[in-house]
């Protein structure tokens, strides 16, 4: 049955949240009429079917050289940029926030990207559906830091989710993490360093203070730097 523009937003915004994975708002301001129409038209072809992920490369055209995942892509600026830089790779983005999904769907159309697929829901259920050792890399950029002590259990790069990521990543594959919150950087580092699945190969401050090659800074990042919160750019490697 065809999807109506008027049913896309309520269907996603009211989707059941799965606890302990990727917490946050499902929707903000109502989508514009053109966004709803684009979502109804384009999202079904971009959406990942969790029930058919035995071979995730089959989501893309033949010849894809590898798969990368971005968890919590926000408005999709980085994911769309990377997909344009590396057309030989397939990119899977996960984001529960409806307005961010709409923005990325718009970017995919504007940039004519055919190597992007989306999961508009929790990252944990996607990671659990992926086969082992299928990802060539994973990115988690500026996730919600959940700063209050009682909220920290909601932070995405927990021990449990590091285990999920480790299962899905190929040996040697990078897990990249960026944050402008010192406490969150230290919290994640503590969990990575006690994990048997990941290594942190940094040797000097420049290894985490400088962004990655080709990194496209965002408005959020520029604001953080102006406000005196220099980001940390951490790269972990799947053992």
Q: Given a cut of 80, is residue 19 above it in pLDDT?
A: no
Q: What is the pLDDT of residue 147?
A: 84
pLDDT class for 15, splitting at 50, 70, 90? Answer: very low
Question: Which phi and psi angles does 99 have, rounded to 5°?
Answer: -65, -35
| Residue 31 · residue 98 · CB < 8 Å | yes
Going by the DSSP 8-state scheme, the letter that residue 23 receives in this structure is: -
Catalytic residue among 144, 183, 197, 213: 144
Nearest to 99 by CA among 15, 3, 17, 35: 35
CATH, residue 194: 3.40.50.150
Q: For 72-98, write each residue's pLDDT tens digit.
A: 999 999 999 999 999 999 999 999 999
> What's residue 116's pLDDT?
98
User: Whole domain around residue 161: which residue ranges?
Assistant: 5-238
Give the chain's domain count.
Answer: 1
Annotated active-site residue 144? The verdict is yes
Stated pTM of the model: 0.88
């Amino acid at each position: 049955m065809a999807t109506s523009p008027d049913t896309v937003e309520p269907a996603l915004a009211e989707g059941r949240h799965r606890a302990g994975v990727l917490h946050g708002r499902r929707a903000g301001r109502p989508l514009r009429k053109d966004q709803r129409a684009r979502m109804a038209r384009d999202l079904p072809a971009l959406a990942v079917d969790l029930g058919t992920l035995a071979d995730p490369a089959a989501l893309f055209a033949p010849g894809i050289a590898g798969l990368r995942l971005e968890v919590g892509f926000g408005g999709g600026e980085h994911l769309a940029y990377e997909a344009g830089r590396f057309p030989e790779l397939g990119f899977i983005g996960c984001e529960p926030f409806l307005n961010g999904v709409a923005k990325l769907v718009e970017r995919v159309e504007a940039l004519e990207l055919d190597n992007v697929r989306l999961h508009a829901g929790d990252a944990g259920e996607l990671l659990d559906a992926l086969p082992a050792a299928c990802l060539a890399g994973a990115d988690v950029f500026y996730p919600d830091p959940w700063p209050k002590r009682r909220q920290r259990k909601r932070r995405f790069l927990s021990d449990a989710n590091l285990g999920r990521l480790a299962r899905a990543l190929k040996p040697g594959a990078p897990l990249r993490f960026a944050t402008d919150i010192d406490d969150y950087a230290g919290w994640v580092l503590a969990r990575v360093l006690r994990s048997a699945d990941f290594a942190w190969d940094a040797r000097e401050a420049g290894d985490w203070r400088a962004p990655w090659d080709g990194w496209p800074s965002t408005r959020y990042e520029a604001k953080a730097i102006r406000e005196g919160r220099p980001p940390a750019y951490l790269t972990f490697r799947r053992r």
